[in-house]
Amino acid sequence: MNVIQGIGARVVAQIEEMGAMLLFLLRSFGWLFQPPFRLFQIIKQMHFVGFKSTFVVVLTALFTGMVLALQGYYSLRKFGSEGLLGSAVALSMIRELGPVLASLMVTARAGSAMTAEIGIMRITEQIDALETMAINSLHYLITPKMVASLISVPLLVALFDVVGIGGGYLVGVNLLGVSGGSYWSSIESAVEWRDVYGGILKSISFGIIISWVCCYKGYFTKMSAEGLGKATTESVVLASVLILVWDYFLTSVLL
Amino acid sequence: MGTPIIIQLKGVEKTLGGQPVLRGVDLAIPKGAITTIIGPSGEGKSVLLKHIIGLMRPDRGQVLIDGVNIAQIHGRELNQIRKKFSMLFQSAALFDSMDVFDNVAFPLREKRLVSDSDIQRYVPEMLERVGLGKMGHKFPAELSGGMKKRAGLARALVMGPEIILFDEPTTGLDPLMAHAIHDLILAMHKTFGFTGIMVSHEIPRIFPISDWVAMLKNGKILAMERSEEFQRLSDPLVREFISVPNAMATT
């Protein structure tokens, strides 16, 4: 009986946590439409989530594009269709790798920092201090972060796509000798609006997932240094897993 | 008691992590006075304070602020009540991303009650009062424990609250600094006339600065008396708690 009770308690706890997470998301978004709008906070967060992630995003994009071209070239050569290299690189970038990899990089760089920042504010009673000043802590702390990552992640993904395709060009054309004209023209003929649109939709939803999970884990940190460390790890793992799982379902709907 | 009551707790119970912390607290806080809640560590004094400002909600019982039960209200209504309050936290809870000036100016700016030029005049004045005249540009990480408390007090005072809660204002300070902070609280109380509720175990230092003293023991208020009378109580639990540090102070 105790085993069954234990399983039951865990299931109930999980469901409760899911409910709490959902409420957290809805409340934070609800505050978006209430004044004051804290434009400065949003810009500050965009600088942190967006601008400061550009270097790592450009670097990963470059190498992802390069390795895609390398792999694609050897596969396509077997069928004598190296000319399609551009479209192979561009489609996998725009549809899949751009949104997923850029979001994972943002999670690792900005998401973990979000959890740590909010978690420290929780432990040192700064969140309580906000509440005692009759300032809603979700409105002040979380909403600007969500808006910022909602705007920044799609922009970073766009950058990732462009740099990735450039990296593919570098390896495919300059190194492996595919003709530059056919690289670009195959992209032009293969990539449709709905590919781009799907990528944008993915990146927007990943932006929400990152700020949602990472802010939630920080906001409900256990009151200790160990708890904060655990919350940061959990937020990165959970956000990354959710991004990949959600990516599958979104892809299956979009196809 | 004669004095009007501003805060009243009726049968407040709270269980945290399966442990009952408050087991039916009844407490009436007189307006305009400093009431200090003493009691052994881990008795839930800070928990009690958090109930008074609505950071925690009781499992059972009522928390009445000017007759409004804040255990039942949320959102805007609760924020209306909270405008009467300020709180000085144990860790001072300064926003570490801002310097001292911005910390003190923060509530004024957020509530948009005063113009920026008034803030430029009013905040340095407040910093001067708490003895941080030239520290406005420092960040919390650069301040000593005592200076953090001073900055926290300035931030608590800046909105002109009716009620200020002090969560162990002298914990972690050396005796001289603790004395200075107590004096400062007393001086500010004389100037601004707020209702003060302090949680502390700084015995005997709290007696001269408190008007009323209440003792929390086993999750209930064991006794509440005027400061002078409290020191003469014969209850063995009270005696035990207040006489040990007294004896130590005299030796």
- The Cα–Cα gap between B86 and B111 comes to 14
Q: What residues of chain B have any CB closer than 8 angstroms to a CB in chain A?
A: 50, 53, 55, 79-80, 82-83, 85-87, 89-91, 93-96, 106-107, 110-112, 159, 165
**Per the domain annotation, does A47 fall within a domain?**
yes
B80/B166 same-domain check: yes
| Residue that the structure tokens 């967060």 belong to | A45
pLDDT tens for each residue of B218-248: 888 988 989 888 888 888 888 888 876 555 5
Give contacts of A120 with chain B, Cβ < 8 Å: 96
Dihedral in degrees, nearest 10, Cα atoms B30, B34, B35, B36: 170
Among B143, B160, B177, which residue terminates a domain? B160
Question: b or e along A193-221 (b: 16 or more beta carbons within 10 Å of the residue's beta carbon)?
Answer: eebeebbebbbbbbbbbbbbbbbbbbbbb
B182/B195 same-domain check: yes
B58/B180 same-domain check: yes
**Per the domain annotation, does A32 fall within a domain?**
no
* Tokens, residue A195: 């590919």
- Nearest residue on chain A to B51, alpha-carbon basis: A132
- Contact yes or no for B86 and A124 at CB 8 A: no
B169/B133 same-domain check: no
pLDDT over 70 for what percent of chain A? 100
B50/B98 same-domain check: no
Q: Look at residue B250 and tell me whether its pLDDT is greater than 60.
A: no
Q: In whole numbers, what is the pLDDT of chain B averaged over residues?
A: 87
* Tokens, residue B24: 């039916």
B211/B243 same-domain check: yes
Q: Which residue has the higher pLDDT, A187 or B240?
A: A187
**Per the domain annotation, does A113 fall within a domain?**
yes
Range B2-5, long-range pairs (CB < 8 A, 24+ positions) = B3/B30, B3/B31, B3/B32, B3/B33, B4/B30, B4/B31, B5/B29, B5/B30, B5/B31
pLDDT tens for each residue of B89-128: 988 899 998 999 999 999 888 887 788 888 888 899 889 8
Range of the domain at A210: 37-254
Q: In angstroms, how far is the first alpha carbon of chain B from the final one? A: 36
Question: At B240, which CATH number?
Answer: 3.40.50.300
**Per the domain annotation, does A23 fall within a domain?**
no
Q: How many domains does chain B have?
A: 2
Q: What residues of chain A have any CB closer than 8 angstroms to a CB in chain B?
A: 36, 120, 124-126, 128-129, 131-136, 140
Secondary structure (3-state) at B221: strand
B26/B75 same-domain check: yes
**Per the domain annotation, does A11 fall within a domain?**
no
> Helices marked H in B92-174 — which ranges?
100-111, 116-129, 145-157
B80/B107 same-domain check: no
Closest-CA distance of chain A to residue B16, Å: 14
Q: How many domains does chain A have?
A: 1
pLDDT tens for each residue of A80-116: 888 899 999 999 999 999 999 999 999 999 999 999 9
Give contacts of A30 with chain B, Cβ < 8 Å: none
Give contacts of A36 with chain B, Cβ < 8 Å: 110, 112
Range of the domain at B58: 5-84+162-250
**Per the domain annotation, does A9 fall within a domain?**
no
B79/B197 same-domain check: yes
**Per the domain annotation, does A29 fall within a domain?**
no
- Contact yes or no for A124 and B96 at CB 8 A: yes
DSSP B158: T
Among B113, B133, B160, which residue terminates a domain? B160
Considering only CB atoms, A125 lies closest to which of B80, B93, B112, namely: B93
pLDDT tens for each residue of B6-24: 999 999 999 988 888 999 8
The ipTM value here is 0.86
Among B160, B193, B214, which residue terminates a domain? B160
Closest-CA distance of chain B to residue A235, Å: 23
**Per the domain annotation, does A198 fall within a domain?**
yes
DSSP B56: S
B58/B169 same-domain check: yes
- Contact yes or no for A133 and B159 at CB 8 A: yes
Residue A47, C-beta contacts closer than 8 angstroms, at least 6 positions apart: none
- Nearest residue on chain A to B83, alpha-carbon basis: A134
